[in-house]
Amino acid sequence: MSGLVVDGVDVHYGRVHALRSLSFEVGEGEIVSLLGNNGAGKTTTMNLLSGLVKATRGTITWNGTDLGSLPAHDLVTHGVVHVPEGRRIFSTMTVHENLMLGGYRVADASLVEKRVQQAYDLMPRLHERRKQQGGTLSGGEQQMLAIGRALVAGPRLLLLDEPSMGLAPLIVKQVMEIIAEVNQQGTTVLLVEQNAKAALRIAHRAYVVETGHVTLSGPAAELADDPRVVEAYLGA
């Protein structure tokens, strides 16, 4: 299929077997969510896809390109952009400077400016705060800034790791609406989330990951009604 295909991947940290024959797919134009508890292997999966760790077995392809053979700094040129857990914005740089930094691998300066303006249009709060240092923003605004910075890079596949972490429910709703809008504008999204309820509201499909491998998968609406998911992740 076109899109992202992870096939039979193992990852080891020394003697720790972090991912075990992990396989899943993300079709172009989809939002796919990976659900699971702490330690399930979700963040390792994101680090694998962004080239920060390497597989000891298996393959990772994005529209036919072997991502596993590429260094991390080259993935953005193939449209793969990672928003890491914890946002990791530059706290002493302004909002605008953070956004501009997202375009560091984009040769066309006018395209960078256009994408920055698109980020402001999508998230007007960032425009209001554009001259503020990133560290002075609220948690929700920092998450918006992290997403905006990634969008300036021009992602075709956006990897989002725990974007709702530490945010109030109303802000979580706003962030998820932004992610859904980014997807509607044509960006494929892989969303790692502990907040299963929020993730399943916007995802097309989802996979449940436990101890480094997929134990359950299906359309998001079906998983939201699956008693196993309800009991384990939806607090019912």
Averages of pLDDT over runs of 10 residues in the chain (236 residues) are 91 93 96 92 93 94 93 91 88 96 91 96 95 94 95 96 90 94 96 92 96 95 91 71
pTM of the prediction? 0.93
User: What's the distance, CA 121 to chain centroid?
Assistant: 21
Residues 193 and 135 in one domain: no
Quick: pLDDT tens for 148-190: 999 999 999 999 999 998 889 999 999 999 999 999 999 999 9
| Phi (first) and psi of residue 94, to 5 degrees | -70, 165
Number of folded domains that form the chain = 2
Distance CA 52, CA 182 (A): 25
Residues 73 and 172 in one domain: yes
Residue 31 is assigned to a structural domain of this protein: yes
Query: Residue 58 belongs to what H/E stretch?
Result: strand 57-62
Residue 84 is assigned to a structural domain of this protein: no
Given this model, what pLDDT does residue 86 score?
Answer: 78
Given this model, what pLDDT does residue 1 score?
Answer: 58
Q: In what order do the strands lie in the sheet with 57-62?
A: 16-27, 3-13, 57-62, 65-66
Q: What is the CA radius of gyration of the chain?
A: 17
Structural domain containing residue 149: 91-154
Residue 153's SS3 state is coil
Distance CA 219, CA 3 (A): 17
Query: Which residues are within 8 A (CB) of 228 and not within 5 positions of it... i.e. 6 or more apart?
Result: 216
Count Cβ atoms below 10 Å from residue 229 Cβ, excluding itself.
Answer: 21
Given this model, what pLDDT does residue 236 score?
Answer: 46
Domain at 177, CATH number: 3.40.50.300
Contact 24, 217 (CB under 8 A): yes
Residue 53 is assigned to a structural domain of this protein: yes
Residue 164 is assigned to a structural domain of this protein: yes
Residues 225 and 165 in one domain: yes
